[in-house]
Structure 1
Amino acid sequence: MGQAFVFPGQGSQAVGMGKALAETYPQARAVFAEVDDTLGQKLSALMFEGPEAELTLTANTQPALMAVSLAVIRVLEAEAGLDLARDAAFVAGHSLGEYSALAAAGSLSLADTTRLLRLRGSAMQEAVPPGVGAMAALLGLDYETGVAVAKQAMEEQGGGAVCQIANDNGGGQVVASGSKAAVERAMEIAKSKGAKRALLLPVSAPFHCALMQPAADVMADALAKVEIKAPKVPLISNVLAAPVEDAKDIRGLLVAQVTGTVRWRESVTYMASKGATLFVECGSGKVLTGLLKRIVDTATGVSIGTPADIDAFKART
């Protein structure tokens, strides 16, 4: 059975995430301690106890979600004998989860990943003033229709307005991102094109669109100074929806990802087409496992974020 290990992105965070792992496994505690030390902040306390409003700040959410994902990987290595190089056909992550995937595959160190995600979260937050941008889920549209809707909305707004498809999540779920007025217009157009629903998302900035170019520039500078090794498992890139293993290519794609579409539907379809039948979601929540059912109904998804999940995975192997 081909296995793909996948890593969640923003929206999967919840107060209490990782706490039971830390209480049960020294490997998880070690990951959280290294992240705390790297940031000079007790991020683990924020993850375990809240407050939620502080945890959901992008600069905190991004390294926090990665920390839980890496804690799961380290525990699986110790408790279930996991060896990604041997046991995984692919790794992939949704948006910030791509960094978690690279850290799990040995391409980035935990400390560098932590610093990069703190910077990425801050830079994305600061790229667009509050209230200028928006994101909206367009439910019931396929990707091609979503792209046409975003293009029409941008053209109708004119004046340098931005509207792009930020996420193609599969199962008729696409997300538009850009200038607030253009995104709101896209919601109206989407309904006229057959969308079941169109709703604004409670996000702090318009991610994965051209308005994020200042953040992409920040990440280009930061990634140029970080050692990136070839991953021990092929990474399915958000931007390409195809495997990438060359460190130089990974660097450029991580920069492009800031303003580019997260092609999750195509990424999952690709992995399934190459023999992946079990998708193991490592970290907080079950968002990617839920999306899997809408993309490839013949594949099996399991999510691992608690000691009970670890035990269940051990029982499978």
Structure 2
Amino acid sequence: MQVATMQSAARAQRLGAAVRRGKQARRQVVVQAASDTKFADYQPKVAFFFPGQGAQTVGMGKEVAEAVPAARQLFDRASDILGYDLLAVCAEGPKDKLDSTAVSQPAIYVASLAALEKLRAEQGEEAAAAADVCCGLSLGEYTALTYAGAISFDDGLRLVKLRGESMQAAADAQPSGMVSVIGLSADKVAELCEAASQEAPQGQGVRIANFLCNGNYAVSGGIAGCEAVERLAKGFKARMTVRLAVAGAFHTDFMAPAREQLQQALAGTTIQEPRIPVISNVDAAPHSDPDTIKKILAQQLTAPVQWETSVKTLLDSGLERSYEIGPNKAGRLRGVIAGIMKRIDKKHSIENITV
């Protein structure tokens, strides 16, 4: 009886540690430079949100490239930089090529900026320039920085190309994965991750990688850890789990090799002070110092995505309306970001501009 009690206490202690680690993961600290205070008192009214990997769908970009000359020019410019016909891959596939990390990331980046040209063509320059704050989900942060004038289109595309290729290489070198856990709070998912990690071999553990919204969190880690999450989830009262169709454990240390490559590329890239706040995935805060932005973009590859905190902070700061700008999975009534927003605040006004 005493042994059982001691085992129960030890388990409770471990689970408590997991919860604390989960909360700490949501409080990533970025050391700010003295020049990084331009947006300290920002008061958002209109936000542009840009999607991340997973938003791609075969057929995207075709109609907007035919209807909006500026959008077609973006695809043509991208094809020159990438060395292949990006519009053809977006419009015609094949799906497995478009879904690959190395291709989907530049494809989503360009398609999202093409959607912005669609907004400009349909609603005018005032609508296209309406945002006083922006952010993007993981990959989408690069699109947001381009919209905000911090990164040129060409440099942003080159960075995204390298990012996708290096993430694919890191995933190929060490098999890993991601699982979406539906129906649990963040603390419960942290407990689930701890339990799954205890069952997995060393180095195959999992942690929360995407804090999306209450009841919807994605965990990343080794294949054995992901399998353990799927096996144990019902015991933690999760409604369901979904294995994500991604190359590997994004936003964890499994992506450390990609982070090193990206750091080198960022060091040689010109980044300007953004004209409007861009909310970082790493710490849910805006940054104006170019060197800080470079550090954050590299850190983002191995740090959890703080989307839930980002959105709640914007809403608490007075955000009135939003646009989700970029491709959207075929058949969905709204984009992933709009769906998350409605889970957080049903009354918030958000419009989809999709391609």
**Does TM, scored on the shorter chain, surpass 0.5?**
yes
The AA in structure 1 aligned to 2:68 is Y
1:165 to 188, 194, 208: 208
Residue 224 (structure 1) aligns with: 267
Match of 1:108 in 2: 151
Contact 2:48 / 2:324 at 8 angstroms: preserved in 1? yes
CA contact (8 A) 1:162 1:210 kept: no
- Tell me, what secondary structure is at the counterpart of 2:163? helix
1:139: which partner in 2?
Answer: 182
- 1:248 aligns to 2:291 (yes or no): yes
What residue number does 2:311 align with? 268
1:72-87 alignment, distance < 5 Å? 72-82=115-125, 87=130
How far is the alpha carbon of 1:50 from its aligned partner? 1.1
CA displacement 1:257-308 (0-9 Å, x = unmatched): 10111111111111111111212011101111111110122211111024xx
Please state whether the residue corresponding to 2:204 is helix, strand or coil. Answer: coil
TM-score where L is the length of structure 2: 0.82
Select the residue among 47, 50, 53 that pairs with 1:7.
50
Q: Pick from 50, 63, 68 the counterpart of residue 111 of structure 2.
A: 68
Whether the 8 Å CA contact 1:133–1:179 is kept in 2: the answer is yes
Indicate how the Cα distance of structure 1 residues 149 and 103 shifts in structure 2: closer, same or farther if over 3 A, else same.
same
- Quote how far apart the aligned CAs of 1:147 are: 2.2
CA contact (8 A) 1:241 1:263 kept: yes
8 Å CA contact retained: 1:131, 1:180: no
> Could you tell me how far 1:236 is from its partner in structure 2?
0.8
Which residue of 2 is the match for residue 25 of structure 1? 68
* Amino acid paired to 1:114: L
| Distance in 2 (alpha carbons) for counterparts of 1:230 and 1:81 | 25
Identity %: 38
Q: Distance in 2 between matches of 1:24 and 1:129?
A: 39
| Structure 1 stretch displaced more, 109-118 or 81-90 | 81-90
* Aligned CA-pair RMSD: 1.9
Matched, 1:302 2:345: no
Letter paired with 1:119: L
- Aligned residue for 1:23, secondary structure, equals helix
What TM-score, normalized by structure 1, do the two folds share? 0.91
Inter-partner Cα distance in structure 2 for 1:199 and 1:260: 21
Q: Give the SS at the match of 2:57.
A: coil
| 1:258 aligned residue (261, 278, 301) | 301
Whether contact under 8 Å (1:277, 1:298) holds in the other structure is: no
Task: Indicate how the Cα distance of structure 1 residues 105 and 83 shifts in structure 2: closer, same or farther if over 3 A, else same.
Answer: farther
Measure, in 2, the Cα distance between the counterparts of 1:239 and 1:91: 15
Q: Which has the larger radius of gyration?
A: 2
Aligned residues of 1:108 and 1:228 also touching (Cα < 8 A): yes
- Flag as ranges the 4+ runs of structure 1 deviating above 6 A: none
Residue of 73, 93, 101 corresponding to 1:58: 101
Whether the 8 Å CA contact 2:253–2:302 is kept in 1: the answer is yes
Long gaps (5+) in structure 2: 1-43, 329-334
- Equivalent pairs counted in the alignment come to 306
